[in-house]
Amino acid sequence: MSATDAELEPLIREVNDSHRALRQKIEALVRTAGGNRRIVYKTTLSDGGEVKLRDDVTPLFEGARVFQDRWKLSEHCAQLLKQATGAVDCIAEIGVETGIYSSFLWEKFIPERMILVDVKFSNFRAENQRTGMEKYEGYSSAVIPTLDDNSLDFAYIDAAHDFANVSADIEAILPKMKRNGIIQFNDYATFNLRFALPYGVKAAVNNLINSRRVSVVGHGLCPLGFDDVAVRVL
Ligand SMILES: C[S@@+](CC[C@H](N)C(=O)[O-])C[C@H]1O[C@@H](n2cnc3c(N)ncnc32)[C@H](O)[C@@H]1O
């Protein structure tokens, strides 16, 4: 059962009014505090807090490029891997949903195998299935550790978006990546305004960049702020 537009109208108005009221409260708070005083309240709502990138690792961003969207960034990753190895052996998407991005990745990387991981495949559309795709149903925390070590050329991470789960996905996927393999992260953000939901992706990915042997390959922009970032595992 789904509601009609007319039935949704009052709810949509209420959400928009709440956004406006919240903005007015924040403006009043800033005005009342006065000047440049730093006010301590949840500015990002990120459940991973604020993680700044280190600036003492020179090659970290060397050769990194900015792309107009995530699709162009993935295409770039495919080109880099194909240039380096000739052919791509195995890629993975963690968090698949309809499979629209899986089929796109399949066309761009032309891998031998593609591993798809999702807690449920009920939303997967048959037209996105390709021979060579292997579906693993279950939580990423349970499935990723069962994959072979040093087996993935590329991984697209887009499952849970809270700090703890994204950090766990990163730890689990790292040993599964081949040397010079690339991990692309969707929703490199601190907050999902649409669902008023804190995101920990940016904090978890920044922790990875700060603390492990990786270099940034590129950044895919998104008009709504749900950018992608890709890193190479050195
Ligand atoms: C945003 S959707 C993925 C969209 C897809 N990557 C794309 O670009 O079209 C997130 C998917 O991750 C799945 N998911 C969420 N948390 C998960 C987890 N902990 N383990 C496995 N799958 C998860 C959800 O079922 C959902 O299908």
Asked if 175 and 149 count as a contact pair (C-beta separation under 8 A), the reply is yes
Residue nearest to atom 7 of ligand 1 (CA): 101
In CATH terms, the fold of domain 62-233 is: Rossmann fold (3.40.50)
Which of ligand 1's atoms lies nearest the C-alpha of 95? 12
| Pocket lining: 139 vs ligand 1, CB cutoff 6 Å | yes
Residue nearest to atom 11 of ligand 1 (CA): 95
Asked if 128 and 99 count as a contact pair (C-beta separation under 8 A), the reply is yes
Amino acid at 225: G
- Please compute the mean of the pLDDT values over residues 113-126 and round it to a whole number: 98
Q: Which pTM does this prediction carry?
A: 0.90
For the chain, give every residue range classified as CATH 3.40.50.150.
62-233
Residue nearest to atom 26 of ligand 1 (CA): 97
Q: What is the dihedral of CA 74, 76, 78, 80, to 10 degrees?
A: -140
**Each residue of 89-107: pLDDT tens digit?**
999 999 999 999 999 999 9
Residue linked to tokens 């042997």: 213
The confidence score (pLDDT) of residue 196 equals 79
pLDDT beyond 60 at 165: yes
Find, among 226, 187, 233, 179, the residue nearest to 208 by Cα: 233
| Pocket lining: 51 vs ligand 1, CB cutoff 6 Å | no
**Each residue of 68-83: pLDDT tens digit?**
999 999 999 999 999 9
